[in-house]
């Protein structure tokens, strides 16, 4: 029953992300809204990590399986993709570097803010 409740909580947060995606006219996927909401709820202790940790760990472990249909779709569309393969490769490379850089900078910012907050508590 614990896993059902954890999964239901993650689905509820995802549903709120879907609602925000419907209400806010920005080109941001609903899943991103959901991730941000879950992060904020965890950060501000609205949701305890123990409430979602087990199912979250399972979902992260199962994530590679979710890429199989996309890979099969790419292989099935090879005749359409082949003329523009260089452009797709460049776009993939550039966006990968940008996402890695943005993730690293965001992580550094969160660590810096967290350390600053802990310094105030201890000082």
Of the pLDDT bands very low, low, confident and very high (cuts 50, 70, 90), residue 118 is confident
In the chain, pLDDT over 90 holds for what percent of residues?
83
Does residue 123 have a pLDDT over 60? no
Top pLDDT among 35 and 117 is at: 35
Largest CA-CA distance found in the chain, in angstroms, rounded: 63
Of the pLDDT bands very low, low, confident and very high (cuts 50, 70, 90), residue 116 is confident
Asked if 54 and 10 count as a contact pair (C-beta separation under 8 A), the reply is no
Compute the average pLDDT of residues 40-68.
93
């Amino acid at each position: 029953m614990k896993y059902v409740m954890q999964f239901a909580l993650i689905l509820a947060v995802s549903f709120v992300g879907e609602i925000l995606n419907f209400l806010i006219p920005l080109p941001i996927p609903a899943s991103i809204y959901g991730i941000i909401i879950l992060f904020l709820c965890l950060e501000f202790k609205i949701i305890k990590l123990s409430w979602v940790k087990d199912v979250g760990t399972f979902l992260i472990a199962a994530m590679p399986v979710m890429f199989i249909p996309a890979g099969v779709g790419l292989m099935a569309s090879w005749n359409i993709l082949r003329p523009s393969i260089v452009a797709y490769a460049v776009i993939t490379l550039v966006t990968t570097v940008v996402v890695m850089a943005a993730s690293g900078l965001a992580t550094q910012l969160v660590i810096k803010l967290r350390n600053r907050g802990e310094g105030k508590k201890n000082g």
